[in-house]
């Protein structure tokens, strides 16, 4: 059976225009488990609610279990939607959170409120990851201190559902054309930059004219040492440029 939602997806170069692109999208756990995945977008961490690309998610529920194993602490969150999910925190040997790299240009250290234990009501923000089962990598976990606060969060979730997630995402054809033109321009610029860097690398690796060939018994002169140092500096700068250009070309 064909996937009608997949057939209606906008191209990848339009995803930044989605209303969900920079929002913590609030779901019940059962809804998280119903999000769609497509192989061509898995590497970038995209899941889909209808035609909306989803990266950043938020849930509210009770901590039903806490398990610690090498390098991680897992909080099992139950939000009474007949489903639960593990929220993962990366930790060091002393149990403190450590920096986590999500994408090429995004590294952060998660924060978990003091006093979170089994039975605590928590508000969790993070991004989805699938390893055997669906999980949330924690960006922030806060305690919900009262039933009143919990009800307030539920109302906010319902409001976001109505005003954001359940509204059709529609782009005009001119907007799609503009995104396509921008993507093609970016690819062309990336190709030109790659060629420039390749030429610079080749130039940096060429022997310097007029340099006297060293023999095993000769000590390199001060001038030779300075030239070597400058060449190494050029290679290091070029390597940095290659890495930065690669990530920019990918839109990361």
pLDDT tens for residues 135-148? Answer: 999 999 999 999 99
Q: Which of 42, 32, 38 is nearest to 8 (CA)?
A: 38
In a domain, 226, yes or no: no
In a domain, 220, yes or no: no
Q: Which residue has the higher pLDDT, 96 or 168?
A: 168
Could you tell me if 159 and 193 lie in one domain?
Answer: no
The CATH code of the domain that includes 35 is 2.40.50.140
**Cβ(153)–Cβ(144) below 8 Å:** yes
Domain containing 191: what range? Answer: 172-202
Could you tell me if 145 and 193 lie in one domain?
Answer: no
Q: Token match 């090498």: residue? A: 70
Could you tell me if 87 and 117 lie in one domain?
Answer: yes
Q: How confident is residue 173, by pLDDT bands cut at 50, 70 and 90? A: very high
In a domain, 109, yes or no: yes
Could you tell me if 189 and 156 lie in one domain?
Answer: no
In a domain, 116, yes or no: yes
pTM greater than 0.75: no
Could you tell me if 39 and 133 lie in one domain?
Answer: yes
Could you tell me if 142 and 192 lie in one domain?
Answer: no
Q: How confident is residue 92, by pLDDT bands cut at 50, 70 and 90? A: confident
* Average pLDDT of the chain to the nearest whole number: 82
In a domain, 232, yes or no: no
Could you tell me if 90 and 197 lie in one domain?
Answer: no
Mean pLDDT of 149-169: 94
- What is the count of structural domains for the chain? 2
In a domain, 224, yes or no: no
Could you tell me if 141 and 194 lie in one domain?
Answer: no
């Amino acid at each position: 059976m064909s996937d009608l939602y997949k057939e209606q997806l906008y191209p990848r170069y339009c995803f930044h225009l989605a209303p969900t692109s920079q929002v913590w999208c609030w779901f019940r756990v059962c809804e998280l488990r119903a999000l769609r995945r497509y192989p061509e977008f898995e590497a970038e961490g995209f899941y889909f609610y209808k035609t909306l690309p989803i990266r950043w998610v938020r849930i509210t529920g009770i901590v039903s279990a806490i398990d610690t194993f090498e390098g991680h602490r897992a909080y099992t969150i139950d939000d009474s939607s007949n489903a639960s999910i593990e929220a993962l925190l990366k930790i060091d040997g002393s149990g403190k959170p450590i920096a986590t790299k999500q994408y090429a240009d995004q590294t952060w250290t998660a924060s978990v409120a003091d006093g979170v234990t089994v039975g605590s009501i928590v508000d969790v923000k993070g991004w989805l990851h699938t390893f055997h089962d669906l999980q949330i990598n924690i960006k922030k976990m806060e305690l919900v201190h009262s039933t009143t606060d919990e009800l307030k969060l539920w109302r906010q979730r319902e409001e976001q559902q109505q005003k954001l997630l359940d509204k059709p995402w529609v782009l005009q054809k001119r907007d799609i054309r503009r995104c396509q033109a921008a993507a093609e321009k970016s690819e062309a610029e990336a190709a030109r930059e790659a060629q420039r860097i390749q030429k610079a690398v080749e130039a940096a690796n060429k022997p310097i004219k007029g340099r006297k060939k060293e023999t095993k018994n000769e000590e390199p002169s001060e001038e030779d040492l300075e030239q070597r140092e400058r060449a190494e500096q050029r290679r290091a700068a070029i390597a940095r440029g290659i890495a930065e250009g690669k990530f920019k070309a990918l839109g990361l």
